[in-house]
A and B are shown apart, each in its own frame.
Chain A
Amino acid sequence: MSTTLLEIEGLTKSFGGLVAVRDCSFTIPGGQVTGLIGPNGAGKSTVVDLVSGFGQPDSGSIRLAGEQLIGRRPDAISRLGLIRTFQTPREWPNLTVMDNVMLARRRFADESLWRSATRARRIRRSEAADRATVRDILRRFGLYELRNERAARLSGGQKRLLEFARIAAAEPRLIILDEPMGGVNPVLGTRIGEAVTQFAAEGRAVIVVEHNLPFIEKTSDQVVVMDLGEVIATGPFAGLRDNPRVVDAYLGMDMSHE
C-alpha cells in the first residue's frame, strides 16, 4: 500500500436546503488510480470542486500531503501540485497548442511583468529546455504537427488529448479527471486509459470521476462510491457487485458488463 496523498475527513457542503455532500471521508494513495463513482446527483462533482478550491465546504478537512486545502484559492491549491479537469475540455482557444502546453509548465517566476519586460532574452533561453520537453509530450499525444494551430481548431477528441498533454507537462502530484470519457470514441478511450495508467505509474495519484464503469473497472486500483452526498463504499471494484447498497444506488443496474 502506497502512502496517503490526499485525506478527506468529514466533508460537508450544502447549497441552500440541499445537502450536496454529507460527512464524506476517504483517502487517496499516491501512485494509484481511484475511481469516484455514483449516480447523478451523488455529489461527486461537488467533492471535486471542494478539493480543488472552486467551492468552500461548510465543514470538514482536506489535506494534500499534510497541507490543509480548505480556505485556499484554486490557483494556490494548484500550486501545491493538483491539476483538475472539467467535464468539457477547457483549452485556451486563441492560444496555440504549443502555448497551451507551455502554460502548463507553470514557470510562474517568468510571468512577472517586470521580468517579462526586462529579461526577454534570458527567459527565451531558459524556456528552450521546456520547449523541447513540451514537443516530446506533444509527440506522445499525437499533437506535434498541430502545435502551431490555435487550440480552437482542434476536434473534440484532440482537445481531450490536449488536456492530457497539459497534465503531463504540469507534472502534478494529484490529478482529478472529471468525466474524461465524456463523448470519447473507443479508440481514443484506449489511449486515455493508457495515459491514466501511465500517470499512476509515474507515482502520481489519479482520481477519475466517471459514469463509464468498464473504464473504471479497467483503470482503477480502488473505487469510492457515493450516493446522495455520502460515501457508501470504498475498496476494489470487484467487491462492489456484492455490496447491496451499491447495487441499490445504481437501481439494480448491471454492474458486470459482459
Chain B
Amino acid sequence: MYWVSIVTEAGVFAILALGLDLVWGWCGDFDLAFYGYLALGSYMTFVLSIGKPTPPVQYILGWRLPVLLAMVIADLAVVLLAAIIGAIALRNLREIYFAVTTLGAVSALYLIVENYTPLFDGYNGVYGLINPGQAALNLTYNGYRILFAVVVLGLLLLAYLLVQRLSRSPFGRMLRAVRDDERAAAAYGRAVFWAKYRGYLFGAALAGLAGGLFAIFISAFNPSAWTPQELLVIYAAILVGGRGNPRGVIAGVFVVYIGFIELTRYLPAPASRPEFGPGLRQVLIGLLIILMLRFRPEGIFRERPGADHEPKGRAGDTV
C-alpha cells in the first residue's frame, strides 16, 4: 500500500507539473504563485464537500456537495484567482519582476489563510474528506486507495494527452514563439498578453484539478502543506525531465518523487535530529538542479518541435 500511495502522490504532482510547465516551459514565465493554486483547489474542495464546521473549528461555506462537483467548483475558483493574479503580473512584468510579483501574491495569500481563521481555520487547516464514496462503491479501505490511484493515473493520462495535443498544435507553437521572442511575435500579429494569459489560466486549471485530487489523497490540508519549498521540488522535476516536453515533465516528477523523496527515506537518520532527513532531501534536490543545469540543461527529454516531412518525397533547395 505504501507504493500505491507514492504512485498516487506522484500522479497528482505530475498533473500539477504539466500545468506549471505550460506556464514556465511554454510561456517562459517563472511563476512562484503556482503552488497557491493547488492549495486553493484543495481548500475549496474541502469546504464545498465536508459540511458545516463544528466549533471551535471554523471555515467558510461548509457545504455538502458531492465531491466531484466540489472539485469542479474549486477549480473554477482557482482559475478566477489566477485570472486576477495573471491580469496584474502578466501584463507588463517579465522574468524576475514577474517572479517577484507572483511571490508577493502567494505570500499574501499564505498569510491571509494562516492568520484569518474564519477562512480555512488558519494554521489548523481543514480536514475530514476521508475516502468519499467508499461506502457507495462498497470497497475496503485498501481497495478504495487502489481505485483512487487508478483514477489519478487515468486523469494524468487524459491531462497528458490533452497537453501533448496542444503542444503540437498551432496554440502551442504560438505560445512558444511568444516565449522565444515577444517583440517578434507581436510584429507577426500575436497579442502577447492574451496568449500568455490563456496559457496561464489553462495551467492554473490543471493545478486546481491537482489540488482537488490532493484533498482526497491526504484528507487534510493546512498551511504547512504548501510551503515555498514544495514548488521548488516541482520546478526541479520539470528541469530534470525536460522543460517544455510533456513526456519529460511526467518522467521528471516520477524520477524526483520516487527516486529522491522516497529513497532518501531509507537513509539512516540520527534519532536526536528528526530534521536531518527532510533537510538532506532539500540539499540533494538543490544538488540535482545544479548538476542538471551544468550537464544537461535541456533535461532528460528535450523539448522537441515536430519535424516536417515532405509528402511526395520531393527534396532539395532549388537555389
Contact = CB atoms under 8 A, between A and B. Distances in A.
Which of A54, A73, A78: most chain B CB closer than 10 A? A78
A103 B173 CA distance: 8
A94 B169 contact: no
A113 B198 contact: yes
Contacts of A95: 173, 176-177, 180, 305
A78 B318 contact: no
Given A92-B176, A117-B166, A78 B188 contact: yes
A122 to B, nearest CB: 11
A98 interface: yes
A79 B185 CA distance: 12
B186 A73 contact: yes
A153 interface: no
Interface residues of A, number: 54
B95 interface: no
Contacts of A106: 188-189
A147 B317 CA distance: 11
Contact of B187 (A84, A94, A127, A148): A84
B171 A113 contact: yes
Nearest to A52: B187
Interface string B299-319: 000010111101100011111
Interface in A92-106: 92-96, 98-99, 102-104, 106
A148 B307 contact: yes
B308 A131 contact: yes
Contacts of B185: 75, 92
Nearest to A54: B183
Interface residues of B, number: 40
Which of B171, B189, B202, B317: most chain A CB closer than 10 A? B189
Interface string A125-156: 00110010001001111111101101000000
Contacts of A145: 315-317
Contacts of B173: 95, 99, 102-103, 111
B165 interface: yes
Contacts of B162: 117
Given A95-B305, A107-B170, A111-B174, A73 B181 contact: no
Contact of B189 (A78, A127, A135, A144): A78
B192 interface: yes
Contacts of B11: none
Contacts of B188: 78, 83, 103-104, 106, 166, 170
Contacts of B187: 52, 74, 78, 83-86, 90
Nearest to A141: B319
A90 B184 contact: yes
Contacts of B125: none
B172 interface: yes
A144 B177 contact: no
A169 B132 CA distance: 56
Interface in B102-140: none
Contacts of B305: 94-96, 99, 150
Given A92-B176, A99-B305, A120 B169 contact: yes
B308 A148 contact: yes
**5 A-B pairs closest in CB distance:** A116-B171, A116-B169, A92-B180, A90-B184, A78-B189
Interface of A: 52-54, 73-76, 78-79, 83-86, 90-96, 98-99, 102-104, 106-108, 110-113, 115-117, 120, 123, 127-128, 131, 135, 138-145, 147-148, 150, 166, 170
25 contacts: A75-B185, A76-B191, A78-B186, A78-B189, A84-B187, A90-B181, A90-B187, A91-B181, A92-B181, A92-B185, A94-B176, A95-B176, A96-B305, A96-B307, A102-B173, A103-B174, A116-B170, A116-B172, A120-B169, A123-B170, A142-B319, A144-B316, A145-B315, A148-B308, A166-B188
Interface of B: 162, 165-166, 168-174, 176-177, 179-181, 183-192, 198, 202, 244, 303, 305-308, 310-311, 315-319
